[in-house]
Structures are given as C-alpha cells and as structure tokens.
Amino acid sequence: MHVLILGGTTEARQLAGLLHGTPGLELTSSLAGRVASPRLPPGEVRVGGFGGAEGMAAWLREHAVDVLVDATHPFAGTISFNAASAAAAARVPLLALRRPGWAPVEGDAWYEAGSLEEAATLLPGLGRRVFLTTGRMGLATFAHLDDLWFLVRSVDAPEPPYPPRMEVLLDRGPFTLAGERDLLRHHRIDVLVTKDSGGTATAPKLTAAREAGVPVIVVRRPPTPEGVQVVTDPESAAHWVTQHPRWGARVEGAP
C-alpha cells in the first residue's frame, strides 16, 4: 500500500514516524521546498511542487498511490484545494491532518483578521513596534507601512518587497515562554501579528503578549476543502491509514 503525505509540518513528520517501517506499507512524504534546510521525515521524500491539481493527479496515478494525507500547514490553502481536486480525479481517498487552532483566554486582547491585507489595515491603530510572525512569504503586504517598525521572525531570510524599517530574526521553533518574554521586552514590542497556526511550538508568544498587555492580530485560517475528512492528531491519521479498506485489500493481495 502506497501512502503519500503532503508534509512539511511537525504533525506530518510525526505521522511518517508512526507509519515508517510498517510491513507492506510504502511511504512517501512530499515537501514544498520553500525552506532551505527542512527537517526531513523518515521514509522516502520528494521535494517540489506537482504542477497544480492536474500534475498531482498524474503523480498519484503514476506512482500508484492508495491513500493521500494532506498534513500541510493550516495556511497552505492552495495545495490543500489542489489535493482535494487531484484525489477526486485520481479516485484516491484523502484525509486532512490539521492541528487545532488557538483560542483566546481571559486577558487576551485579540483582533481577528480574515487576511494579511486586513491585518495590515488594523496595524496602525494598535501599535508602532510590530512583532510579525506570519512568515517571509507575505511581507509585501506590509511594505507600505513605512511609519511602523517591524521585527520579522522567519526560518529563512526574506526577499523584497518588505517593510523599510525592519529587523529580521532567523529562528525556528519551538520557542520558550522565557525567550518570548525577553524578545518582547528587548524590542519594546507593542503589537503582535500572527497566523492561527495552532500547536505548541510557537504558542508561547501568545502567553508573553497577554502578560505584557500587547494586543495580538490573529489571521484566521483558510477553510478546509468541502467534503474532506479532517483529524487533529497524527495518531488518528495513522489509524485511518492502517484501518482503511484499501489497506485490508493490499494485505489480502487483492488488486
């Protein structure tokens, strides 16, 4: 049985770890290739795009993929919709693995935004020194805000266009609460912008912001493609794979 995991996330690596070495299971993880030195999961790994939904469907057929797991980042909306279209075209069962989103607690000052553009519109009214943790790909959205100062944290160095008053911090989670407290204090941050990525690796910044009374702009997630089954943890995804009827058919030697 051939399983393709669309990965790049912690959950994708954990799922690959749970499935790797299972007798009779061929495992391939696909990474987008946007990070220069990604953390690789166990098993076979391919890097790069598929060429849209049609290209992915062709890859699924060519490599006889039995089930597809979309374990990409919650904000990787394009590839998730491509995966849904490709899986339908190739008649391959699809599961989405999505970590739960964050939820505000007492003391949080959260402002929801439906997009990076909306976040950029909200920013000038909330602060002047911005901790921007939305990744390096969307910095052009904030490039016109030349009256604000930005601390941008990303895994790889960003490319222009980006805000003219900016300091880049190259780092990769997980982050500690003590470290996030020091960062906010040292850079005199008065507003935080983040995507609702969920998980624990980058959540300490939210606690640090709450403690410091720093408002947080939270960009909402894009929707999951309609009709796609969703689980929230790697263990449930591994169970879905190993209990899928296609697994039983392969074990019994059926075509």
Which tens digits make up the pLDDT trace of 11-32?
999 999 999 999 999 999 999 8
Q: Are 125 and 201 found together in one domain? A: yes
Domain CATH code at residue 185: 3.40.50.720
Task: Let me know whether 205 and 228 are in one domain.
Answer: no
My answer on whether 28 and 76 are in the same domain is yes
Are 142 and 135 in contact by the 8 Å Cβ rule? The answer is: no
Query: Which among 253, 243, 250 is positioned nearest to 2, based on CA atoms?
Result: 250
Query: Could you tell me the residue range of the domain that residue 180 belongs to?
Result: 110-219
Same domain, 42 and 143: no
The predicted structure's pLDDT at residue 170 = 94
Q: Is the pLDDT of residue 184 over 60?
A: yes
Q: Which has the minimum average pLDDT: 33-42, 109-118, 161-170, 226-235? A: 33-42
- Whether 10 is in a domain gets the answer yes
135 and 86 within one domain: no
Residue 26: name the closest of 16, 14, 11, 38 by CA.
Answer: 16
Q: Flag whether 105 is in a domain.
A: no
pLDDT for residue 248: 58
32 and 65 share one domain: yes
- Residues 14 and 90 placed together within one structural domain of the fold: yes
In this structure, the answer to whether residues 231 and 212 fall within a common structural domain is: no
Check residue 254 and give its pLDDT. 43
Question: Which pairing describes strands 191-195 and 44-47: parallel, antiparallel, or unpaired?
Answer: unpaired
Q: What percent of the chain has pLDDT over 90?
A: 82
Question: Lowest-pLDDT range, 39-53, 72-86, 148-162, 239-253?
Answer: 239-253
Q: What is the mean pLDDT of residues 229-238?
A: 97
Pairing of the two strands 67-70 and 2-6 = parallel
| pLDDT tens digits along 118-176 | 999 999 999 999 999 998 889 999 999 999 999 999 988 999 999 999 999 999 889 99
Q: Residue 173: what pLDDT? A: 87
Please check whether residues 228 and 210 belong to one and the same domain.
no
- Of 95, 102, 97, nearest to 8 by C-alpha is 97
The total domain count for the chain is 2
Same domain? 39 vs 94: yes
The reply to whether 152 and 139 lie within a common domain is yes
Domain-located, residue 79: yes
Do 95 and 127 have their domain in common?
no
Confidence of residue 255 (pLDDT cuts 50, 70, 90): very low
pLDDT digits (tens, 9 = 90+) for 49-73: 999 999 999 999 999 999 999 999 9
Q: List the beta bridge partners of residue 112.
A: 218
